[in-house]
A and B are shown apart, each in its own frame.
Chain A
């Protein structure tokens, strides 16, 4: 392909990326250094919002919630997905049906999931009231998220498992390993790369968490995560500048961690 051909090939994707990602991202970055007054006029304020973020206790609480949410969704999403994959890999109609069942929630909109579970847990009318109270909400939402996303990780791990040669597993069985020993000594080590991908996806998912928190905890200020705090800043407190700063910080953090992981992986070859 000629250089011009290559450019033409990538141009549509570049345009879409530019219009929908790069330009808004740039605007957000610029916006985080400006304050918009009540009259709509924009005023440059330098690093004011960032200095504020460094001391904002609400932001620190929200960030800590993101971290806990990540640690909780690890077992509920990735762990459960791995167990499902190990249990449901292979042929058979029953297994195929169960795989479909566990994957089905993925097709639902998170807003719908949030509304349904939010109603189930609603004080007064819900079947399980009190689960969204302060102190419990984070665990509850993590479980709901596990229910919704374990299917995704199941599919990822199923793909990883299908790449393990059947004969290696058979050799282990002949060597005297039972099902769990095969899983622990052979399959898990050979799923290392797949597990790495799953952990990254889970990490990114936990730090961009928004919809479940927003829908299941309406009008409740406790148990914010950074993304709900950010939206509230923009919509409720009409402060796009601070909202933008939070967006920049969150994206920077996630991208920074991803970059770090890549770098470590690169040095290990």
Chain B
């Protein structure tokens, strides 16, 4: 199965719900994104951030109030959805309830006047790839959630579109099936090498599936980057707090020359953060749970408190410590020996510290280096060296 590829470009895309409304008040306030040929691109954000609206605008189901959208170099702002050469998988699957699986798959091809033989060939291929062979004569109501999901994917695949749009396609599945379908989707993308735009609020999906991720909030793109970039080098406090589970800890601190004061005790600053502030400045220290080291004495630098909860998860132990700044969570080695009630000190790894300006949430100083070189993305790994 060969799918044509296409670059999708969004330039200053604006969505207003009332004419004359300033863009900032509308849902989307000028989104710039370039999605490369064959890229698996994720739009990630909390509900109401405008990610689905943006996807629907690419699909042509939602009018574009301003800016320019082009697919494969062609401006498509005013092109009807059916003429954009895209296929969409909906969160609700949106299968035709009165048609069998076979007819669901064939409908889009029949509407486009594809020859019967070709329709049969494409449906056969898709059914085989998605394991739908035994279900072809069933109605959607006779299928399980996972099967419906596969039919919805199949309906998009047989179209062989330039761009796949996926709107939270896994969110109606149970956790186990979701994990399974995530792998299937990744495989599918590696095989088709099609451009895919995928909307989700689930950071695990974003991290595992995406070549690149755009993190959105309140109708604005906060950061675009590879999953590891947005995880390790978040542009601001929102991105830092949105990605990661358990989430990043935030603790008030004071930046003073070469030291960072937490609880009035100085922590060493890495070189990159020395002199980030000209004089004394109040900041927020952001530190991921895996970047905290547990010390059992209570009289050194770090964040001190009392262990509240210990969760041994096998591969790691998650410890929640009540501090004067609220609970701070640390991910420790599986054998970590501590128990509720113990007085402890959590020492941040200097190299992994993030500083944010209180209020605005913007980053102070340069970000830490990437934890490791990002593994080659699925696309580039599958592509022959040109």
Which A residues are closer than 8 A to B by beta carbons?
165, 167-168, 170-178, 181, 185-186, 189-190, 192
Interface pair B112/A176, CB less than 8 Å apart: yes
Which of B61, B82, B96 makes the CB contact (< 8 A) with A176? Answer: B82
* 19 A-B pairs with C-beta separation under 8 A: A167-B92, A168-B94, A168-B97, A170-B59, A170-B81, A170-B90, A170-B94, A171-B88, A171-B94, A171-B96, A172-B96, A172-B111, A173-B82, A175-B82, A175-B155, A176-B111, A176-B112, A178-B82, A186-B96
Contacts of B155 in A (CB 8 A): 171, 175
A189 CB contacts on chain B under 8 angstroms: 98
Q: How far is the CB of A163 from chain B (nearest CB, A)?
A: 11
Q: Find chain A residues with CB under 8 A from B108 CB.
A: 174-176
Having A173-B80, A175-B155, A190-B97, one finds 7 other A-B pairs with CB under 8 Å, namely A170-B88, A170-B94, A173-B81, A175-B107, A175-B159, A177-B107, A185-B107
List chain B residues, Cβ under 8 A from A173: 61, 80-82
A174 touches B88 (CB 8 A): yes
B86, CB-defined interface residue at 8 Å: yes
For B68-99 the 0/1 string (1 means CB < 8 A from A) is 00000000000011100011101110111110
Which residue from B60, B80, B90, B98 sits with its C-beta under 8 Å from A171?
B90
Which A residue's beta carbon lies closest to that of B62? A170
Complex interface: chain B residues within 8 A of A192 (CB): 98
Closest to B159 in A: A175
Bound CA span A73–B211, Å: 61
Are A174 and B82 interface neighbours, CB within 8 A? yes
B binding-site residues for A, Cβ under 8 Å: 59-61, 80-82, 86-88, 90-92, 94-98, 107-108, 111-112, 155, 159
Q: Which residues of A contact B90 (CB under 8 A)?
A: 167, 170-171
Find chain A residues with CB under 8 A from B94 CB.
165, 167-168, 170-171
Known: A174-B81, A175-B108. A168 touches B96 (CB 8 A): yes
Whole-angstrom distance between the Cβ of B253 and the nearest chain A Cβ: 48
- Interchain residue pairs A-B with the least CB separation, the first 9: A175-B108, A176-B111, A167-B94, A171-B94, A176-B82, A189-B98, A176-B112, A167-B90, A168-B94
Q: Which residues of A contact B60 (CB under 8 A)?
A: 174
Cβ contacts under 8 Å, B61 to chain A:
170, 173-174
What residues of A have a CB within 8 angstroms of the CB of B97 in the complex?
Answer: 168, 190
Contact pick for B59, options A174, A176, A178, CB 8 Å: A174
Q: How far is the CA of A76 from the CA of B73 in the complex (A)?
A: 50
Known: A165-B94, A167-B94, A189-B98. A172 touches B107 (CB 8 A): yes
* Residues of chain B within 8 A of A181, CB atoms compared: 111
- What is the minimal beta-carbon distance from A150 to any residue of chain B, in angstroms? 26
Contacting residues, chain B, for A175 (C-beta < 8 A)? 82, 107-108, 111, 155, 159
User: Which residues of chain A are within 8 angstroms of B91 by Cβ–Cβ distance?
Assistant: 167
Q: Report chain B residues within 8 Å CB of A190.
A: 97-98
* Nearest residue, chain A, Cβ from B152: A171
A174 lies within 8 A of B86 (CB): yes
Contacts of A168 in B (CB 8 A): 94-97
Chain B residue numbers with a CB within 8 Å of A172 are 96, 107, 111
**Once bound together, how far apart are the Cα atoms of A165 and B91, in whole Å?**
12
A168 to B92, CA, bound (A): 9
Nearest-CB distance from A165 to chain B (Å)? 6
How far is the CB of B86 from the nearest CB of chain A, in Å? 7
- Using Cβ atoms and an 8 Å threshold, which residues of chain A touch B111? 172, 175-177, 181
Give the complex CA separation of A173 and B82 in angstroms: 6
Contact B98 A177 (CB under 8 A): no
CA A189 to CA B96, docked complex, whole Å: 10
Q: When chains A and B are docked, how far (Å) is the Cα of A173 from the Cα of B61?
A: 9
Q: Looking at A172, A178, A190, which has the most chain B CB atoms within 10 Å of its CB?
A: A172
Instruction: Give the distance to chain A from B369, nearest Cβ to Cβ, in Å.
Output: 43
In angstroms, Cα B61 to Cα A186, docked, is 17
Query: In the assembly, what is the distance between CA of A177 and CA of B83, in Å?
Result: 10
* CB neighbours of B88 from chain A (8 A): 170-171, 174
- Shortest CB-to-CB span from B160 to chain A, Å, is 13
Q: Which residues of A contact B81 (CB under 8 A)?
A: 170, 173-174
Cα distance, A153 to B6, chains bound together (Å) = 46
B107 engages A174 (CB within 8 Å)? no
In the complex formed, the residue of A with least CB distance to B107 is A175
Determine the chain B residues whose CB is within 8 A of the CB of A171 once the complex forms.
88, 90, 94-96, 155
CB distance from A195 to the nearest CB of B (A): 13
Name, among A175, A177, A189, the residue most crowded by chain B CB atoms within 10 Å (CB to CB). A175
User: Which of A165, A174, A176, A177 sits near B92, CB closer than 8 Å?
Assistant: A165
A173 to B107: give the CA distance in the assembly, Å: 11
CB distance from B64 to the nearest CB of A (A): 16
C-alpha spacing A177/B108, complex, angstroms: 8
CB distance from B103 to the nearest CB of A (A): 10
Question: What residues of B have a CB within 8 angstroms of the CB of A186 in the complex?
Answer: 96
Q: Please give, as numbers and ranges, the residues of chain A lying within 8 Å of B82 by CB-CB distance.
A: 173-178
Question: A174 vs B87: C-alpha distance in the bound complex, in angstroms?
Answer: 7
Instruction: Give the complex CA separation of A170 and B60 in angstroms.
Output: 10
CA distance A178 to B81 in the complex (A): 10
| Distance, CA A192 to CA B92, complexed state (A) | 22
A178 contacts which chain B residues (CB < 8 A)? 82
